Amino acid sequence: MKLCDLHTHTTASDGSDSPSELVRLAEASGLSALAITDHDTVSGIEEALRASDQLNIEVIPGVELSVIANKGNMHILGYFIDKDSPALQETLNIVQKARAERNPKMVARLNELGIGVSMTMLEDMAQGGQVGRPHFARALVELGAVRTVQEAFDRYLKRGAPAYCPKSVLKPVDAIETIHRANGVAVLAHPFSLKCETRGELVGIVDELVAAGLDGLECYYSEHSKEFTQELIGIARQRGLVVTGGTDYHGKAKPYIKLGSGKGGLKIPYECVHELKTRLHERSSN
Ligand code: AMP
Ligand code: ZN
Ligand code: FE
Ligand code: FE
């Protein structure tokens, strides 16, 4: 069975593997396709595509956009995007500016709480990539303020915690439109993170996004149970949405998530890539 991983992060955002290291690891892991989906940046794509030239693996250019959500976290994935699209660049500039303004605010909050983290430390950790909360988490571990990355999120960094500052400035409809203008396919990432209490609440959000042009739903995911995955596949099929999946691999930033297999047993069929391509062709012929 051909397998893929359609949700991964590199050093361009908050992953710890460079784009070329990630592509080599994906090939060595036996995957047939890999999508690079860094948070709010496309700066890792060129290196990843170049690395795949010499290897037996298909690399799909992608991006993961953070959008405004009423609760939890909402992320929209874009696949097969034209990374040089002016519409995409314009949106990324806005979101990256919001991130750049947020980071010093979170540093100040942590300093007020007696934790001596600095922007320089975070920038070193990000190795030239974009600073995000997982870098804060690793810094807090290194400073001895917490023992684990998870503890850093729970005590300081998660939404509602004392050092958390919001960063999303993009509406879900605008994220979907941006992805379409960049000739890509838009997929709702990891629905578990929406923190819906009922199926009705989840379906309500999905239907709003479908009305805005959503193309697919990330059903296979490291944090989704088998039952939730099946439920999501049902929701996707009823609406003609593409079924996709990915691990959200971040390398050392999330050591418990393995490329391709997540927490162990995840298998994402290559059929997801076929479905994305079919959708892409339907879009471009309309
Ligand atoms: P940011 O884009 O800077 O807000 O950071 C988002 C990253 O933080 C994503 O990679 C998430 O997986 C990670 N993250 C968000 N919330 C948590 C949490 N509660 N525990 C662990 N990681 C989290
Ligand atoms: Zn991340
Ligand atoms: Fe995400
Ligand atoms: Fe992600």
pLDDT in tens, 87-120: 999 999 999 999 999 999 999 999 999 999 999 9
Residue 58 main-chain phi, psi, to 5 deg: -95, 125
Q: What angle do CA 11, 175, 216 make, to 5 degrees?
A: 90
Question: Taking 80 as the threshold, does the pLDDT of residue 186 lie above it?
Answer: yes
- Architecture of the 4-92+179-285 domain: Alpha-Beta Barrel (3.20)
Q: Which of 133, 169, 224 has the most ligand 1 atoms within 8 A of CB, as the residue to mutate?
A: 133
Which pLDDT belongs to residue 168?
80
Verify whether ligand 1 is closer than 6 Å to residue 132 (CB atom): yes
Q: For residues 211 and 219, give the distance between their C-alpha atoms in angstroms, rounded to a whole number.
A: 19
- Whether the Cβ atoms of residue 217 and residue 235 lie closer than 8 Å to each other: yes
H-type alpha helices, 163-269: 172-181, 199-211, 226-238
Q: For residues 283 and 286, give the distance between their C-alpha atoms in angstroms, rounded to a whole number.
A: 5
Verify whether ligand 1 is closer than 6 Å to residue 133 (CB atom): yes
**What residues does each domain of the chain span?**
4-92+179-285
Q: What angle do CA 280, 283, 286 make, to 5 degrees?
A: 150
The pTM of this model reads: 0.95
Mean pLDDT of 16-30: 97
Mean pLDDT of 214-218: 98
Q: What is the chain's alpha carbon radius of gyration, rounded to the nearest angstrom?
A: 18
pLDDT of 63-77, one tens digit each?
999 999 988 899 999
pLDDT of 36-57, one tens digit each?
999 999 999 999 999 999 999 9
pLDDT averaged over the chain? Answer: 96
Verify whether ligand 1 is closer than 6 Å to residue 279 (CB atom): no
Percent of the chain predicted with pLDDT > 90:
93
Distance between Cα 188 and ligand 3 center (Å): 10
Which pLDDT belongs to residue 30?
97
Which pLDDT belongs to residue 71?
86
Which pLDDT belongs to residue 286?
74
- Whether the Cβ atoms of residue 90 and residue 182 lie closer than 8 Å to each other: no
